[in-house]
Each structure stands twice: as C-alpha cells, then as structure tokens.
C-alpha cells in the first residue's frame, strides 16, 4: 500500500522531475552560462506572458472547453491600448501613431481588462446559451479580433507607449522583473483559488462530468461562462504585460500563442477532456517549454530545430500522461484483486 | 413444436460466476431451427449473462455449448459470429448516414473495371437480397431516414446475409407502436418459416405469448424451466419468474400523517398523464412500471432534469416551482439518478468532493472559501454513518465498488437534508450485501421523517421496504398496493405492471401455499 502511494506521489509530480532533469542536462551541456542569475530571470521572463495566458487557457480546459480566442484578444487589446494612448501621427514606413486622444494609461488599463473579460463573456454566451461548438466559436473569435486589430492599426506598428503603462511589462523590483513576480503570484493565487473556492469545485466537477454536476445542483452554463471570462481577463492582463515590455504595438502580437498555452497545459498534465489537472501543473509546462527554448538558444542550436524539439516534448508528455493512467489503474487492479482473494479465503 | 427441425443451439449446464455473484448456475437452453424461443426473467436473473456467453463476450466457467453440431468449450465474439449467432439490440447501430444498400453490402460493394463502386449493381443487388427475405425497403434511403422498426428489420436482414442461423432479439419492441410491432412480428414469422431461429428477450410478457413457441424462464441465475407457450398463461409465467423466495428486508413503518409531496394531475404528453400521488412524512412509497411507462421520466421531471408538463406539485404545503436541480434541492427535493456514472457522481474526483457538491454554500468560511475543516468533519460523519468502505475520503469515487459509490450518492443527497427523496433504481448494479445496506439507509432516513419515493422495477425489493407501491402503465398510475394487505403479492404487482387487471384473474391463488 505504501509503495503504491509512493508511486502515486512520484507520478503526480512527474513533470517537475523531468523539469529538473532538463535543467541538469542544460547545465551539463551549456555549463555555467545556463545557471546564471540573468539567464534564470530570462527564462522566467520568457515564461511570464505565456504563463498568464496559460492560466486562462487552463481554467477553460478544466471546464472542458478550448479557448482559442485569447491570442486574438492579445492582438486586438495591445493595438487598441497603443492606439488610445499614443498621440496622432501620419503613417510613415509602416509606423503610425494613435487616434490622438492620448488617454491616460490609468483609463486604458481598465478598458483593456474589462474588454478582455467581455470577450470571454461573449465566448461563454455563444457556447453555453446558443450551444455552439467551443472550438469553432473561439477560433472564429480569434480571427475576428485579429481582423479588428489590423483594421485599427492599418497593419502598422505603433511605438512609444507611456512609462506608467510599461511598469507591469518592463519594470523591475531590484533585479527581478515585475512581470515575473506578478506571474508567479498569479499562478500561486489561482492554484489556491481553485482549490479552496466554490468556483474551483464547480469547475472541476463541470469539466469532469457535466451531467452529474448539474444533477448535484451546479449550473454548468454559468461555470463555463465564468471560466471564459477569467480567460478573457487574463488575455487583457497578458496584453498589458506584453505591450509594456515591447513598448510597441504590432498587430501580429500573440500569433501562435494559443498552441503554446495548450501545449504547456497538456505537458503539465491538464486533460483536454476537462476536469483533470492543476494550475501549478500547467506552470511546470510553461517552465519546461521556456527552459528548453532558452537552453537550446544558449547552446546555439539552429532555431529551426527548436520548434521540432517542442513538438517532441509535447508528444513525450502526452505519452507519459497515458502511461500514468495505465500504471494507476494497474496498481488499483492488483490491490482490489488481492482483497477479493483474501475475502474468498475467509 | 415441430421437432423434425434440427437443433440449432444446445447449451448445457452453463455456469458463470462474477466476483461476489453466481450469475448463472447449471443453465440449459435448447433452440430448434424455425423456432422463436422466449427468454424471460427479472432484471439480474441471468438473461444478459447467458446471451453474453452465447455471443462469446463472456467465457463460461463450466458447461457445454453446441451450435449447429459444432462444440465449443470457449468462444470468441468472432467465432460466435462465424457460427451463425447474431445479436440485434433494442437500439440498432448501423452506419446511419449511408444508404440501406451500402449498409447491406458494406465490405464487398460491387466494383466496375476501374475499381470504382458500381452503384447500379449495388442498388440492384441490395434490392434483390431484401426481396428474397420479403422485406421491401427503399435501398436508396439513408438508414437514419428509416423508422425504428425498419432499422430493426434491416439489422435482422443484414445478419441473415452474413449467414446467421440464430438471431437474438433483445427487447425489440420497447420503442415501437402497435402497428410497427405487428410489422416486425410478421417479418419474424415469415423468416421463421424459412428455418431461422430466434431468441426473443422481452419484459412484455404478452408479446412472448403472441410470438414465441417456447419460453425459458430464469430466476436468480438458475433455470426454472422451458415451457411450451400454448400450455402457459401470464399469471403462471409470472409465478415462475418470481419464485417463492423470502423477503429481502423487513421493516416497521414510520409513516406520519402530514403529506410532504403532493402531485395533482401532472401531465406531459407522450410521457405521463394525470398523475396524482401523495407521499407522507416518513413514508416509503414505491413506484414501478415497465420501461416507457412514465415512472422514470416522472422522477427526472420532478428534479428538473426534464420538462415537467402541466399540473400541480406541492412540497411541504408550498407550491414546488423548481426549474433545475439546484432549485429542487433548495425546495427540499433530492433525486438519486438511475445512471450513477453519468448523473450521480463525478468519477474522477475524490469521495470528499462528491459528498459536498450539493452543500458547498453551507461550508464557506467568512472569507468565502470552503472550510476544509468543516468539510472533512462532515464527510467523515457521512462515511461512518452510511458505512462507506474507502481507504480515505481522498479516494477517487470511480475506484470504489458499486455499492459504496451508491452510498456516496446517498451521502450527497442526505447532506442537503431533503424533505422528499426520490430514488431511481437505487440498487441497480450493486451486490446483495450492499442492497441490504442501501435499504437500511432508506429505512433510517424514513424514520427521521424524510418522505421517500422509490422508482424501481425490483418489485420484490419494493415489497420489503415500502409502505405502499404504485404501479404505472402507459403513463398512468393504474394500481396501488398497501403493505400487509392480502392482495399485495409480487405476482399481482407484476401482473399490473404488465398492464393486466388483478380483479379479472380471480382464480389466481397465492404462491405461498
């Protein structure tokens, strides 16, 4: 019994052990270059925007739904924020200014956060009330939002966001970037929140078995809508963080991030079928992707290889997940088998 | 019986045990060519296990199996098909979006010289094959466009095209109207003349008398006997099915006078009509009926899982207006679903969470978060009270045994402190020991003043635990049996469940003699 518990313990934290192994590998191969403070902070910085989006994605996945729209929201909200804050300028060399209202960041930040949440609500409404397929709804939403971003920006980049705005993305407290601190706090906060809040319970129940959740007095439609609203809010936050770091809006910001967020969640053990996985698990997935990116970069591996390596990592993670379930079932089967054996004897 | 026909199937001394249950013990079954052979018995009597063995899904522990003179000691599903055994379930599964012809010829569609499908030949051949069986269907039609009875007949035809000798029909009429039943029976009779053998499984005994030549009765995994149908009548057959075993559980009534659940004139077209019933405080009422009688949908509708239709419902003297499970729970009505894997439990989550899903709002601390301390104490209390056997409250629910899972559902419902508890087949799929535990819990809750309505087809179990038993037939409550009255016998109840009238069968003598 204690042995199977021990196996369970290791299986549940498998991904952290792998993360350690990967770090060890890079340390041995890339030497001291890898384990410097600056490099570690780089890894975390790399993980921050992706991490914030992954939290939103994970919450949607836990409810049993994809959110493909978040990267579209990032495109739109970064462009919109720059457009509202920057002074008017004629377009030159595909560079442009804003609409000329020069709104204060303290107005623009709430706007993009609220707008992100509203986008999530629309997703939730379409999926739960109008019973449209979550994959298609959020895919269409992604395209629509990115289209809007192009319309507003005319495809041009808008450089020079104000200092007050850049604090979250570019600011540092001592040597540590604000975005890194915020991301880690968000992961810890959401892990705690999902574990101890009523919403967290509902989320797992609805994702794992929607019918039973309903028959237990939960309202799946409401829970899923809330999950999308959190996803939308996190997209708003990620937009603020990303634009603040780059200080320039590009309408293609966010492209490809959906797949990275889904990959991180899956690597971290979040089930695409819903109801299984954790926020900290997803964090380990984010870290793994980010460590591998940075490590390969440091070893001066051809960047074309990096994408392929990521694909392999995702495959291996999925393989482990499947094996994990099998080992677990096997352990239980032997246990119950032995118990019926004793029952028969007595 | 025309004994000149060859023996198609001979099963002898079949036994099969599952962990904790002897599902079949020394059962014989012989089926001749051109015979329609009924197989009857209550739920759990062993019909499905016997058929599963015949189809090669389960292996028998002992006994012999002979199909068309070939002897098998063990059989795979593939070998069973090869031997000519075909199974037609209640809900036929075919390639719905393809045409009748494609379904018939699937796997060997005729091709032309280019290796492409020769559609003209396909349709022609399909048409001819069906015609030979006397079945006229539009072969161009997609299967999903056919009616239920056409799909069933097509499935039978398809089985015959792949050389089936013996076709198992499992409750084929459950979703059919009278006209369709006549069509199906006509088709089956014409095939019988061609020498095809059928095993006909049904809970509708009238149909057994209508179509079968002989009938084999199983009870508790044992063979009662095989009888020629023309020498039987329905009461006799019911007596064979029910047997004379003792009650499973004895209790004393805790019924009080105040009505808790009052239903007046509840009607939902196609499901139930003019349902009137009252359940009092501390009373246990059984509600029984065949599939489709309306008893099941009444339960779901009360809980707000389905539309309810029109009519009045009162709970504790207040109008009951709940439109979804949450409101139903808040207004004092809790429901234990029949399908506990789908509706009862979130299998991948721990016992602790499953128990408290219904009452999370009562466990919040001032910060609005769930108090784990309160939760753990509460869950531990229910685990102890209901005797849930689990290594820890953190165990995933789907790793528990059926009986313990059911106890977890009970804990979840009892935690809401309901005034009325509706149980739908509470003992389905759990072993005898756990059944007794479950009824003890029901009894305990009733003695605490909870009104209980049990929707179940396990008449004998209902007799053991209920103060009254209501019978539903065709959407209406047709009979009421009070505990302790001489007329309240399993035979009479089963008869009314089948749509009969006990007062027309006065010559029926009690079984206990």
Q: Report the pLDDT value the prediction gives residue A324, as an integer from 0 to 100.
A: 74
Q: What Å distances lie between residue A127 and A223, A273, B326, B383, CA to CA?
A: 12, 16, 21, 38
**Residue A6 — pLDDT band, cuts 50, 70, 90?**
confident
The answer to whether residues B354 and B408 touch, using CB atoms and an 8 Å cutoff, is: yes
**Residue B28 — pLDDT band, cuts 50, 70, 90?**
very high
Q: Do B345 and A212 lie within an 8 Å CB cutoff?
A: yes
Map out the domains of chain A with their CATH numbers: 3-333 (1.10.3470)
A2-11, A194-203, B79-88, B157-166: least confident range: A2-11
Of residues B343, B369, B399, nearest to A196 (C-beta): B369
pLDDT at position A250 over 80? yes
The answer to whether residues B452 and B420 touch, using CB atoms and an 8 Å cutoff, is: yes
The answer to whether residues A263 and A58 touch, using CB atoms and an 8 Å cutoff, is: no
CA B215 to CA B225: how far, in whole Å? 8
Runs of H (alpha helix) within chain A: 2-12, 14-30, 37-62, 70-85, 105-124, 134-153, 163-170, 178-196, 198-208, 210-215, 220-246, 257-267, 279-298, 303-345
Nearest C-alpha neighbor of B311 from the set B289, B335, B293, B294: B294
Of residues B335, B342, B399, nearest to A332 (C-beta): B399
Q: Do B303 and A215 lie within an 8 Å CB cutoff?
A: yes
Q: Do A212 and B360 lie within an 8 Å CB cutoff?
A: no
CA B343 to CA B409: how far, in whole Å? 10
B225-234, B351-360, B496-505: least confident range: B496-505
pLDDT at position B39 over 60? yes
A262-271, A314-323, B209-218: least confident range: A314-323
**Residue B495 — pLDDT band, cuts 50, 70, 90?**
confident
Report, as an integer, the average pLDDT of A264-278: 89
B289-293 — which CB contacts under 8 Å span 24+ positions?
Answer: B289/B457, B289/B471, B289/B472, B289/B473, B289/B497, B290/B203, B290/B204, B290/B457, B290/B473, B290/B497, B290/B498, B291/B171, B291/B174, B291/B203, B292/B174, B292/B175, B293/B472, B293/B473, B293/B474, B293/B475, B293/B497
Q: Report the pLDDT value the prediction gives residue B244, as an integer from 0 to 100.
A: 57
A86-100, A288-302, B44-58: least confident range: A86-100
**CB neighbourhood size of B58 (10 A):** 18
Supply the mean pLDDT for chain B.
87
B301, containing H or E segment:
helix B295-303
Percentage of residues in chain A having pLDDT higher than 90 = 55
Pull the structure tokens for residue B238: 């019911």
Runs of H (alpha helix) within B114-230: 119-132, 148-161, 178-193, 205-211
Pull the structure tokens for residue A166: 């850049």
Window A:126-145, CB contacts with B under 8 Å: none
Q: Report the pLDDT value the prediction gives residue B484, as an integer from 0 to 100.
A: 82
Chain B hits for A208, CB-CB cut-off 8 Å, are: 346-349
pLDDT at position A210 over 50? yes
A24-33, B265-274, B409-418: least confident range: A24-33
**CB neighbourhood size of B189 (10 A):** 12
CA distance A245 to chain B (A): 35
Q: Report the pLDDT value the prediction gives residue A248, as an integer from 0 to 100.
A: 92
pLDDT at position B23 over 60? yes
**Residue B402 — pLDDT band, cuts 50, 70, 90?**
confident
Q: What Å distances lie between residue A312 and A166, A263, A267, A306, CA to CA?
A: 36, 11, 11, 10
Q: What angle do CA B131, B135, B136 make, to 5 degrees?
A: 80
Q: Report the pLDDT value the prediction gives residue A134, as an integer from 0 to 100.
A: 94
**Residue B3 — pLDDT band, cuts 50, 70, 90?**
low
Q: Report the pLDDT value the prediction gives residue B250, as an integer from 0 to 100.
A: 58
Window A:162-221, CB contacts with B under 8 Å: 196-198, 201-202, 204-205, 208-209, 211-219
Sequential DSSP letters for B494-506: HHHHTT--GGG-T
CA B485 to CA B327: how far, in whole Å? 38
Q: Report the pLDDT value the prediction gives residue A175, as an integer from 0 to 100.
A: 85
Chain A hits for B356, CB-CB cut-off 8 Å, are: 201
**Residue B199 — pLDDT band, cuts 50, 70, 90?**
very high
Q: Report the pLDDT value the prediction gives residue B288, as an integer from 0 to 100.
A: 92
Q: Are strands B62-67 and B36-40 parallel, antiparallel or unpaired?
A: unpaired
Q: What angle do CA B284, B289, B291 make, to 5 degrees?
A: 130
Q: Do A214 and B305 lie within an 8 Å CB cutoff?
A: yes
pLDDT at position B463 over 60? yes
Pull the structure tokens for residue B447: 């003695």
Nearest C-alpha neighbor of A309 from the set A298, A323, A296, A322: A296
Report, as an integer, the average pLDDT of B352-366: 93
Chain A hits for B357, CB-CB cut-off 8 Å, are: 201, 205, 213, 216-218
B369-378 — which CB contacts under 8 Å span 24+ positions?
Answer: B369/A196, B369/A197, B370/A196, B370/A197, B370/A198, B370/A201, B372/A196, B376/B352, B378/B415
**Residue A341 — pLDDT band, cuts 50, 70, 90?**
very low
Q: Tell whether ipTM is more than 0.85.
A: no
Nearest C-alpha neighbor of B199 from the set B186, B188, B190: B188
CA A311 to CA A266: how far, in whole Å? 12
Q: What Å distances lie between residue B167 and A198, A230, B235, CA to CA?
A: 53, 55, 28
Q: Report the pLDDT value the prediction gives residue B399, as an integer from 0 to 100.
A: 84
Q: Do B364 and A332 lie within an 8 Å CB cutoff?
A: no
pLDDT at position A244 over 80? yes
Dihedral, B460, B464, B466, B467 alpha carbons, nearest 10: 120
CA B349 to CA B359: how far, in whole Å? 16
B195 touches chain A (CB under 8 A): no
pLDDT at position B163 over 90? no
Q: Report the pLDDT value the prediction gives residue B504, as an integer from 0 to 100.
A: 62
Chain B hits for A209, CB-CB cut-off 8 Å, are: 342, 345-348
Q: Report the pLDDT value the prediction gives residue A333, as an integer from 0 to 100.
A: 47
CA B201 to CA B207: how far, in whole Å? 10
pLDDT digits (tens, 9 = 90+) for A166-175: 999 988 998 8
Q: Counting every residue, how long is chain A?
A: 346
Report, as an integer, the average pLDDT of B376-389: 92
Of residues B337, B346, B361, nearest to A205 (C-beta): B346
Report, as an integer, the average pLDDT of B438-467: 89
Report, as an integer, the average pLDDT of B130-156: 89
CA B387 to CA B2: how far, in whole Å? 56
Q: Report the pLDDT value the prediction gives residue A331, as an integer from 0 to 100.
A: 53
**Residue A239 — pLDDT band, cuts 50, 70, 90?**
very high
**Residue A334 — pLDDT band, cuts 50, 70, 90?**
very low
Report, as an integer, the average pLDDT of B387-391: 86
Sequential DSSP letters for A268-279: TT--TTSS---H
**pTM attached to this predicted model:** 0.80
Per the listing, tokens 């706090």 go with A185
**Residue A295 — pLDDT band, cuts 50, 70, 90?**
confident
pLDDT at position A94 over 70? yes
Q: Report the pLDDT value the prediction gives residue A329, as an integer from 0 to 100.
A: 56
């Amino acid at each position: 019994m204690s042995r199977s518990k021990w196996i369970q313990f290791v299986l549940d934290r498998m991904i952290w052990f792998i993360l350690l192994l990967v770090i060890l590998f890079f340390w041995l191969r890339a030497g001291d270059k890898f384990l410097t403070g600056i490099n570690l902070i780089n890894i975390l910085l790399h993980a921050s925007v992706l991490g914030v989006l992954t939290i939103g994605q994970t919450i949607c996945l836990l409810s049993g739904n994809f959110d493909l729209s978040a990267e579209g929201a990032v495109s739109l909200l970064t462009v919109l924020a720059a457009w509202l804050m920057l002074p008017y300028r004629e377009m030159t060399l595909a560079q442009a200014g804003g609409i000329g209202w020069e709104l204060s960041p303290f107005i623009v930040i709430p706007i993009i956060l609220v707008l992100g949440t509203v986008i999530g609500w629309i997703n939730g409404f379409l999926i739960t009330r109008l019973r449209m397929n979550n994959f298609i709804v959020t895919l269409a939403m992604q395209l629509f939002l990115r289209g809007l971003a192009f319309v507003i920006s005319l495809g041009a980049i808008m450089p020079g966001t104000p200092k007050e705005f850049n604090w979250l993305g570019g600011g540092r407290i001592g040597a540590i970037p604000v975005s890194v601190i915020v991301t880690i706090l968000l992961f810890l906060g959401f892990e705690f929140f999902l574990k101890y809040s009523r919403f967290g319970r509902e989320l797992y129940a609805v994702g794992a078995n929607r019918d039973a959740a309903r028959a237990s007095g939960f309202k799946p439609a409401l829970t899923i809508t809330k999950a999308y609203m959190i996803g939308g809010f996190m997209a708003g936050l990620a937009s603020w963080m990303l634009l603040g770091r780059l200080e320039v809006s590009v309408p293609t910001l966010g492209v490809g991030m959906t797949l990275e967020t889904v990959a991180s969640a899956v690597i971290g053990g979040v089930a695409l079928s819903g109801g299984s996985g954790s926020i900290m698990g997803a964090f380990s997935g984010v870290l793994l992707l980010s460590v591998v990116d940075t490590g390969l970069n440091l070893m001066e591996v051809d960047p074309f290889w990096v994408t392929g390596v990521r694909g392999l990592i995702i495959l291996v993670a999925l393989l482990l997940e499947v094996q994990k379930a099998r080992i677990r079932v096997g352990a239980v089967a032997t246990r119950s088998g032995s118990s019926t054996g004793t029952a028969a004897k007595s | 019986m025309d004994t000149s026909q060859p023996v198609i199937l001979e099963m002898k001394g079949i036994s099969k045990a599952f962990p904790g249950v002897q599902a079949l013990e020394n059962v014989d079954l012989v089926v001749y060519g051109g015979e329609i052979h009924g197989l009857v018995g209550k739920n759990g009597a062993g019909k499905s296990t016997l058929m599963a063995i015949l189809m090669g899904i389960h292996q028998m522990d002992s006994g012999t199996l002979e199909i068309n003179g070939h002897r098998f000691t063990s059989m795979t599903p593939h070998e069973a098909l090869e031997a000519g055994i075909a199974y037609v379930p209640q809900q036929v599964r075919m390639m719905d979006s393809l045409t009748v012809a494609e379904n018939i010829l699937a796997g060997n569609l005729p091709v032309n010289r280019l290796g492409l499908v020769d559609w003209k030949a396909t349709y022609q051949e399909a048409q001819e094959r069906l015609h030979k069986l006397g079945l006229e269907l539009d072969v161009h039609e997609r299967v999903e466009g056919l009616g239920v009875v056409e799909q069933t007949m097509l499935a039978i035809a398809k089985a015959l095209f792949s050389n089936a000798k013996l076709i198992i029909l499992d409750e084929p009429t459950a979703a059919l109207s009278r006209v369709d039943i006549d069509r199906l029976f006509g088709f089956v009779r014409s095939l019988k003349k061609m020498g095809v053998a059928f095993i006909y499984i049904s809970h509708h005994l009238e149909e057994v008398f209508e179509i079968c030549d002989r009938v084999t009765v199983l009870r508790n995994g044992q063979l009662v006997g095989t009888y020629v149908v023309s020498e039987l009548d329905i009461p006799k057959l019911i007596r064979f099915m029910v047997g004379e075993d003792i009650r499973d559980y004895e209790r004393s009534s805790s019924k009080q006078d105040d009505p808790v659940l009052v239903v007046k004139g509840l009607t939902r077209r196609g499901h139930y009509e003019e349902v009137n019933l009252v359940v009092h405080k501390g009373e246990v009422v059984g509600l029984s009926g065949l599939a489709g009688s309306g008893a099941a949908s009444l339960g779901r509708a009360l809980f707000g899982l389905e539309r309810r239709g029109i009519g009045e419902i009162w709970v504790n003297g207040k109008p009951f207006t709940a439109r979804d499970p949450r409101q139903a729970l808040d207004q004092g009505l809790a429901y234990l679903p029949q399908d506990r894997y789908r509706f009862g439990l979130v299998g991948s989550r721990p016992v602790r969470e499953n128990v408290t899903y219904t009452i999370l709002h009562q466990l919040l601390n001032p910060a609005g978060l769930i108090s784990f301390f309160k939760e753990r104490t509460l869950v531990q209390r229910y685990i102890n009270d209901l005797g849930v056997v689990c290594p820890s409250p953190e165990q995933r629910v789907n790793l528990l045994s059926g009986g313990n899972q059911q106890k977890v559902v009970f804990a979840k419902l009892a935690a809401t402190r309901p005034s009325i508890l509706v149980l739908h087949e509470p003992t389905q799929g759990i072993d005898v020991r756990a059944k007794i535990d479950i009824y003890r819990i029901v009894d305990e809750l009733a003695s605490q003043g909870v009104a209980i309505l049990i929707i179940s087809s396990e008449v004998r179990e209902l007799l053991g635990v209920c103060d009254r038993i209501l019978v539903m037939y065709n959407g209406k409550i047709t009979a009421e049996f009070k505990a302790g009255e001489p007329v309240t016998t399993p035979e009479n109840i089963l008869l009314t469940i089948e749509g009969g009238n006990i007062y027309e069968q006065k010559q029926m003598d009690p079984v206990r003699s």
